[in-house]
Structure 1
Amino acid sequence: MTISPDYARAVAARVRAYYQTAEDDALARIIVALGRGLDLPDWQARKALDLTTVLRVIDEGLARLDDAAPELITRAVAEAYQAGTGAAWGEVRAAGALPIGGRRASRAVDVLAEDTVRALSGMRPRIIRAVSDVYQQVTADTAGQVLTGGQSRREAAYTAVREYARQGVRPFVDSSGRRWETGAYAEMATRTTAGQAAIAGHTDQLEVLGQDLVIVSTSPESCDLCGPWEGKVLSISGRSRGKASDGVRIAGTIASARSAGLQHPNCTHTVGLYLPGRTKPHTTTRDPEAYKVRQQQRAKERGIRQSKRDVLIAEETLGKDSPAAKAARVKLRGQQASFKAWREDHGRKDLAYRTSLTAR
């Protein structure tokens, strides 16, 4: 039995739903608050007064999220580590190798959980700042358009809110400079951490049981970073070098492979026990088109979520019976039908939580 970095998909989806709902709720509150009283002459002054209330309500929701997330993440990481140790025992026994050690815990796994909880908890003030900035910018842009006579206040509010909603609340910037939406980052961080914990439990236990070699699985959806490592034999500790006793080249260590891109966030590769002369080599199944299809699905999912936001924005600023709201609903239904047909054509799962604005 192998252990995959993708082990925690279900748990990560649940964490994403929590944070994604918080982000969607924040944007919805901005839209509703800005749409209220658009026809009143003192609209801009009223919006300035409303901001404190909007931020307080959003912060209360994020506080509840911060209270719930640590237990969920810590439990997921612990369960992943235990699953990894169990998989190692199963592999060694199935191979008929004699176990020579016992279980051991890893402080590094606790650190993984703590780092993830800290990163996600740290998004709360960032989200509040981002919401405040968007709210104030939309108010100013709307007032400015009205003063120049370019648009009515409702039209200006619709244009401004739609523009900023398309950017989303993206409070986290990773080391490569990529800006993440809240839910997507929470899912990625949880999946990656739990996956690393599962692999740590697996390799820790293999090493204790007297095994030092693993082989990297194949994955049709691999990317250019991890694809070159498919079927490679790696050393857990770094003590095994050169060639194994069956002449197979040891490509490096797990640590060096990770540094080169293997098991990056959202990677689907696994590692399994390698016994020289007994483990069959893997034949690569890499399919560049499959990776492109996965990226296409995510782009389509983001598009549907944005269209749902467009419907809400048009309804709150221009009215449910406005031409823009009707057009937004027609566009959304068309996208949903097209996406359903595309998934069926490509054999892709319907990950409904990725397109829901009310997932929980």
Structure 2
Amino acid sequence: MPIHPGMVEDLAATTRDTYAAAEERLLGIIARQLAKGLDAPGWVEAKLAAVQQVRRAAQAVVDELGKATTLDVFDAVAEAYNVGHRSAVAELGALSDEARALVDERTPNAQAVDRLAQEAVDVVTATHRSILRAVVDGFRAVIASVAATPLLGTGTRRQATQDAMRAFADRGIRAFVDKAGRRWSLPSYAEMAVRTATARAATEAHMRTLETAGVELVVVSDAPRECPLCAPWEGRVLTISGPAGARTVEVEHATEDGRMV
């Protein structure tokens, strides 16, 4: 059974939901802090003085997020590795039952799982350094927006606060900017990174299992949603290991037992 990223992409859902919940908690911290003493004189000054309180509360959320992310990602990558392993075993139908059982019973490479999972954790949690800054910057931006509104006579402080907070929540906490200058929300970036990691884990397990069984040549499947880099290789025969180039393969004749061709 050919392996493709779609077989494991749902494994990123837990991490995505974890980040969505964390983002909701962070927005709640900002909203509650803004609501305190909203109608009291000196609200702007009091809110600016509360920046450190917001930072500390956000730091607690980020610390919990880091622990949860590590557990989620390691579980997802381990499961993806198993999916790739089982897919390869199913693909080895031409082997004898005894040989296929031997491959199937092999324990998936724990070091490979740990390596791939830790790489994914590092990629995802690298955004955590930016989360606190995004939260504090967003908090200050809402205060600045509200502070100017009553002076212009365009609305009450309460309404201005609600409008500014709603606009900030709609944008989300975008703590990561990619090389193209696009800003990613926390759940979207986490899901993208974990999807990449699970696809790598499934593919690596698939290839290792085939190699363990002595399979050296593979055919690239015609998978849906292939990228422009992969498309030219679909249907091509490639080697897992060894030198590139043409080679001679000896197999038993399809209808004559014992005759090798």
State if a TM-score over 0.5 links the two structures: yes
Q: How does 1:103-252 map to 2 (within 5 A)?
A: 105=109, 107-222=111-226, 224=228, 226-237=230-241, 239-242=243-246
Q: CA deviation at 1:221?
A: 4.1
| Corresponding position of 2:22 | 22
Q: Is the 8 A contact 1:7 1:194 kept in 2?
A: no
Q: Is the 8 A contact 2:14 2:72 kept in 1?
A: no
Q: CA deviation at 1:129?
A: 0.9
SS in 2 for 1:6: helix
SS in 1 for 2:218: strand
Summarize deviations over 1:203-255 as a string: whole Å, max 9, x none.
0121222222333333444455544544444332363435887xxxxxxxxxx
Whole-Å separation in 2 of the counterparts to 1:231 and 1:213: 12
Q: CA deviation at 1:140?
A: 1.1
| Corresponding position of 2:259 | none
- Cα distance change, pair 72–86 in 1 and its aligned pair in 2 (3 A): same
Whole-Å separation in 2 of the counterparts to 1:18 and 1:141: 30
Whole-Å separation in 2 of the counterparts to 1:177 and 1:95: 49
Q: Which amino acid aligns with 1:82?
A: N
| Corresponding position of 1:272 | none
Whole-Å separation in 2 of the counterparts to 1:54 and 1:21: 17
SS in 2 for 1:12: helix
Q: How does 1:50-129 map to 2 (within 5 A)?
A: 50-92=50-92, 94-96=93-95, 105=109, 107-129=111-133
Whole-Å separation in 2 of the counterparts to 1:15 and 1:153: 37
- Cα distance change, pair 174–235 in 1 and its aligned pair in 2 (3 A): farther
Q: How does 1:281-300 map to 2 (within 5 A)?
A: none
Summarize deviations over 1:275-324 as a string: whole Å, max 9, x none.
9x99xxxxxxxxxxxxxxxxxxxxxxxxxxxxxxxxxxxxxxxxxxxxxx
Does 1 or 2 have the higher relative contact order (CA < 8 Å, sep 6+)? 2
Q: RMSD of aligned C-alpha atoms? A: 3.2
Q: CA deviation at 1:90?
A: 2.6
- Cα distance change, pair 206–147 in 1 and its aligned pair in 2 (3 A): same
Which structure 1 residue ranges, 5 or more long, are not aligned? 246-274, 279-360
Identity %: 38
Whole-Å separation in 2 of the counterparts to 1:96 and 1:182: 45
Equivalent residues, number: 248
| Corresponding position of 1:12 | 12
Whole-Å separation in 1 of the counterparts to 2:77 and 2:134: 30
Larger Rg: 2
